[in-house]
Amino acid sequence: MKRKYISEILKISILMSLTANVYSASDLHKHDYSHISFKDISPEIYYENAENRKMDRADSALEVMRSKKKRDLSDPNSPKKFEGLNNISPEFISSQKPWNKLEDVFPADWPALNKSSQRQLQDLAKTVKVKTVMNHPDLRIIEVAIGPNGILPQFSDPAPGAFHILGGDAEITVGENTVHAYTGTSIKLEPLSLRRIEVKSKEPLKLLWFRWAPNGQEAYLNYGYYLTGTNFHIQPYQANMPDNFEQWDDAVRKKYEVLPFKELKTAAGDNVYKQNLLAVNSLQQKANHGLPLYPGTPAFLFEKDRQWIDFSKLTASSGFFFAADAEKNKELLHTWNKIARMKGVFRAIVPNKLYDFNLSYLSIGPRGKYVTHSHATPEFYYILGGKTEWQINKKKYIAEAGNTYFHSPYYDHEMLGLKEGSAMVALTGSWAPFGDRTVFDKKILFTEALPTQKEESFIQNGFNFHDFKLKKDLGGVLKSMLTLNEAIIDVKEG
């Protein structure tokens, strides 16, 4: 007897011949579906009905979640659904919207700045581009682009927040800490902290700026996660993620470097910037008794220092809002390990409580299906790459880089990868809603005189914010599948 490996091309041919028919849940229940292509799986198997539930080996665990959702929705003490202005549009397509004016995003005293620094203000508008891509009463998500060698001068914001860099590199100072930051770096922004950005790359800096209302209602966090679709464990082989998956191209991904703090010179004379600085110093002493809101959150974090979650070891104490309910279903966790990669990269931890804001990376393998689910926790996804069919309350969207999706509490949503060889890559976040929203009514104060920007720092027409430098080659997905599931035949020689 001799063992012989079938070539990859022949292997695929055989798989296609074995799966010539589109399989129902009943068919897949009878067969080994680990080699099944997305072309041969009926999407109907993922929707709750009597036949699909009968064939779903995890149905008993999922029925617990379905029943819990019904109880929670009828319980007057449960966190409530969002209504009115809290229930914003579920989709924002940034690529179809123009940049906002600076004054529409930075609530500053623009007449005073224009009077003091008219020419420099014109330069700032050419160098710094901003766009609000999600505008919820609790949370603002803003795309920020700063031209090569451009400067966003020092300012203070009453709202807590975070920066997360998506491209380029810059020296960023917050308070008395300065780092040279690159793609994948998160920067904590305590309320009223002074922050300044000076771009060092030859291409524009790209970052997301998150601003939120602090001290939200934690009842919404960890309250309920409900997986209500069916047959989540049935996934096409194309959705399998390689063990060494990384989302960013190594050429742009580098850990931040700590630099000596460079204190700015105090503005001379009795001008608007000096007045603003004095006002910030006074406000800082009064706010929270001069103490930080999030002392347990590091000032700077690098996403590669964080490991992808091993879902099989997920516990309620991990801090993810879905963990307590998900850990009860090992089949579910096993599927997640096959088709998904997730890591938490920033959390605004409230002392003796949970958090105000949480940010993670999530990737789902090409052609992977995340079946219908929902949760009490409000959530967003900012898409970095891939092409995905998104459904929210049964309405379909096509998710691509730059799109943002909002999941209101208890709203059903699901995702299906549409592009072979291309994983969905996203930043996803959650927050404690109904915090102190008055922070958005207060002024942002610029405390550094607006500089004269170099012409090379002006953002050019046609600049594409959403051309993120992700790893392009996911051929390892198919290669990994063929390696793990290699067909071995015994051939007699005689």
Residues 211 and 229 occupy one common structural domain: no
Residues 318 and 379 occupy one common structural domain: yes
Residue predicted with more confidence, 459 or 270: 459
Residues 174 and 290 occupy one common structural domain: yes
Percent of the chain with pLDDT over 70: 86
Cα separation of 244 and 65, whole Å? 32
Residue 323's pLDDT is: 72
- What is the CATH classification number for the domain harbouring 187? 2.60.120.10
Q: Which residues pair with 146 in a beta bridge?
A: 128, 205
Q: What is the number of other CB atoms lying within 10 angstroms of the CB of residue 441?
A: 9
Cα separation of 119 and 123, whole Å? 6
- DSSP state for residue 183 in the 8-state scheme: B
Residues 394 and 429 occupy one common structural domain: yes
C-alpha atoms less than 13 angstroms from C-alpha of 230 in its C-beta half-sphere? 24
Q: Is the pLDDT of residue 176 over 60?
A: yes
Q: Which residues contact 205 (CB under 8 A, 6 or more apart)?
A: 144, 145, 146, 150, 165, 167, 168, 169, 170, 197, 199
Distances (CA, A) of 36 to 30, 195, 367, 485: 13, 52, 12, 11
The verdict on residue 145 lying in a domain is yes
The verdict on residue 349 lying in a domain is yes
The pTM of this model reads 0.90
What is the b/e burial string over 427-438, where b = at least 16 CB atoms within 10 angstroms of the residue's CB? bbbbbbbbbbbe
Mean pLDDT of 95-113: 96
pLDDT tens, residue by residue, 113-157: 999 999 999 999 999 999 999 999 999 999 999 999 999 999 999
Residues 324 and 426 occupy one common structural domain: yes
Residues 293 and 408 occupy one common structural domain: no
The verdict on residue 424 lying in a domain is yes
Residues 264 and 212 occupy one common structural domain: yes
Residues 113 and 243 occupy one common structural domain: no
Q: How far apart are the first and last CA of the chain?
A: 9
Phi, psi of 389 (to 5 degrees): -85, 120
The verdict on residue 124 lying in a domain is yes
Residues 344 and 445 occupy one common structural domain: no
The verdict on residue 18 lying in a domain is yes
Residues 161 and 272 occupy one common structural domain: yes
Residues 233 and 182 occupy one common structural domain: no
Q: Is the pLDDT of residue 475 over 60?
A: no
Indicate the range of 360-369, 436-445, 484-493 predicted with least confidence. 484-493
* Per-residue pLDDT band at 324 (split at 50, 70, 90): confident
The verdict on residue 420 lying in a domain is yes
Q: Which domain covers residue 112, as residue numbers?
A: 90-216+252-298+436-457
Is the four-CA dihedral 337, 186, 303, 290 of positive or negative sign?
Answer: negative
Number of domains observed in the structure of the chain: 2
The verdict on residue 324 lying in a domain is yes
State both tokens at 20. Answer: 């010539």
Q: Is the pLDDT of residue 318 over 60?
A: yes
Of 380, 154, 144, 181, the C-alpha closest to 267 is: 154
